[in-house]
Structure 1
Amino acid sequence: MSDNAPTTAAQDWEEQAGNWIAWARRPGFDSYWRYRDAFFALVPDAARATLDLGCGEGRVSRDLGERGHRVTGVDASPTLLEAARQADPGGRYLLADAADLPLPDGGFDLVVAYNVLMDVDDLPGTVAEIGRVLEPGGRLCLSITHPITDTGSRRDGLFVLDRPYFDRHRFEDEVERDGVRMRFSGWNHPLSAYTGALEDAGLLIEALREPRVGHDEFPWHLWMRAVRP
């Protein structure tokens, strides 16, 4: 990507949409399948209305639906949304920027953002919108790439922090596995950027998890559940 002409998160995901559909829909292929059950244990039971923010091709929306949630999925990639609709013809899926949602104030009692907030271009604006669409007493359940993950690299069996932790910086990682190629890109933020955005949006953290599955040596993900008082 050229420093003179950076692409937006929406453009990146639209460009990678076909690759992501192939990647995401192969059961057991990526970390979602290992972490899914533990993450959903953090998610409240279905109630009035659930927003799946950054729903992509819809696997989280479909899993929420199987658990009784009435789901609205939102994403900025038309191709991914069309794939979500085809896999779930009865679902509700909307094309929108996460920082400018075409949804009413207090319209949801639950927002799920699974591995989304590190990809958006406007983190504070996105979290502010989450706070706006949550009803009083509503909750946000989020998963992000752990802030240390994209600040370091593996060397000689060790994980070494080799970039400034407190800087916001762009990350890109192209991976090929079993003939499927995917380019992941987004923004690395310190933990305080996420907690500060929640604080500014009036959301209180009530649970925080660093999930460990199998022989994980360091945390890949960070999960939080926050409530709008």
Structure 2
Amino acid sequence: MTERALTAGGQDWEEQARNWIAWVRKPGFDSYWRYREAFFELVPAAGRATLDLGCGEGRVARDLVARGHRVTGIDASPTLLDAARRADPEGRYLAADSADLPFPDDGFDLVIAYNVLMDVDDMPGTVAEVGRVLEPGGRLCLSITHPITDTGSRRDGVFVLDRPYFGRHRFEEEVERDGMRMRFTGWNHPLGAYTAALEDAGLLIEALREPRVGDDAVPWHLWIRASLPR
């Protein structure tokens, strides 16, 4: 792994890797368990080759494999990659920088980026690399924390916008729940920054979803499926 790969969001995740593994592997604890079936409705059927970008400890990759996908997972955290390999010994998991992917042009017909793009240091560069490794007609399915959610907080049961929406801003949040602790770090981007990156990479938005669970006052995630024209 290169030093660049570690600094591209990976160092923060490496420091939190043990906490994250415990967090996401506790059944029903993380939001993924509430959203995953609906998210996979957005994902095309298995094709030639699927890239799980920022695969972490491998939960999305394992769900993709269960649905028939031939998956390559990449991440910048050695500890998370080790956990992914242990959980899926037959899988392919590589250390890589999301903005400098070690794959040829047109190498995949599907890229999944589940809650990744708000964590990488170079979001436009990462999306550009996705466009490069996708074959014509290939698709990107992504989930991000919703840009509105990233600019506010709950106060007395009311959601209040208390941070700038426009621009690129660093965030860091310590969360403790049920005796488990996790520090989340990354970048806030407005929606237009994400769509501009897709546009610059030649990707066209096919679908956009704001999933809602229960009585959520605001959407916590934003899902997009985009395609590379033939």
2:170 matches 1:135:
no
- Structure 2: gaps of 5 or more residues: 1-6
For 2:103 and 2:26, the matched residues in 1 are separated by 32
> Which letter does structure 1 place at the counterpart of 2:129?
E
- Kept after mapping to 1: 8 A contact 2:8/2:122: no
For 1:100 and 1:203, the matched residues in 2 are separated by 18
For 1:162 and 1:173, the matched residues in 2 are separated by 15
Question: Following TM superposition, where does structure 1 have runs of at least 4 consecutive aligned residues deviating by more than 6 angstroms?
Answer: none
Bigger drift between 177-186 and 118-127 goes to 177-186
Which residues of 2 match residues 202-221 of structure 1 at below 5 A?
202-221=202-221
> Which letter does structure 1 place at the counterpart of 2:79?
T
Structure 2 residue aligned with 1:153:
153
Structure-1-length-normalised TM-score: 0.96
Deviations 1:94-119 (A, max 9, x none): 10010000011000000000000000
For 2:59 and 2:157, the matched residues in 1 are separated by 33
For 1:68 and 1:162, the matched residues in 2 are separated by 43
Structure 2 residue aligned with 1:3:
none
- Kept after mapping to 1: 8 A contact 2:168/2:189: yes
Structure-2-length-normalised TM-score: 0.95
> Which letter does structure 2 place at the counterpart of 1:169?
H
For 1:109 and 1:167, the matched residues in 2 are separated by 32
For 2:132 and 2:218, the matched residues in 1 are separated by 34
Structure 2 residue aligned with 1:9:
9
2:71 matches 1:86:
no
Bigger drift between 8-17 and 74-83 goes to 8-17
Shift of 1:8: 5.0
For 2:153 and 2:8, the matched residues in 1 are separated by 25
Q: 1:111 to 1:8 in 2, by over 3 A?
A: closer
Structure 2 residue aligned with 1:23:
23
Query: For the aligned residues, what is the CA RMSD?
Result: 0.8
For 2:126 and 2:63, the matched residues in 1 are separated by 23
- Structure 1: gaps of 5 or more residues: 1-6
Shift of 1:216: 1.5
Shift of 1:89: 0.2
Matched-pair identity in %:
83
> Which letter does structure 2 place at the counterpart of 1:164?
P
- Kept after mapping to 1: 8 A contact 2:8/2:97: no
For 1:156 and 1:76, the matched residues in 2 are separated by 38
Which residues of 2 match residues 63-212 of structure 1 at below 5 A?
63-212=63-212
For 2:79 and 2:118, the matched residues in 1 are separated by 21
For 1:204 and 1:32, the matched residues in 2 are separated by 26
- Kept after mapping to 1: 8 A contact 2:54/2:74: yes
Shift of 1:215: 1.8
Deviations 1:48-105 (A, max 9, x none): 0000000000000000000000000000001100100000000000100100000110
Structure 2 residue aligned with 1:4:
none
> Which letter does structure 1 place at the counterpart of 2:226?
A
Where 1:111 maps in the other structure, the secondary structure is: strand
Shift of 1:156: 2.4
> Which letter does structure 1 place at the counterpart of 2:218?
F
For 2:133 and 2:82, the matched residues in 1 are separated by 24
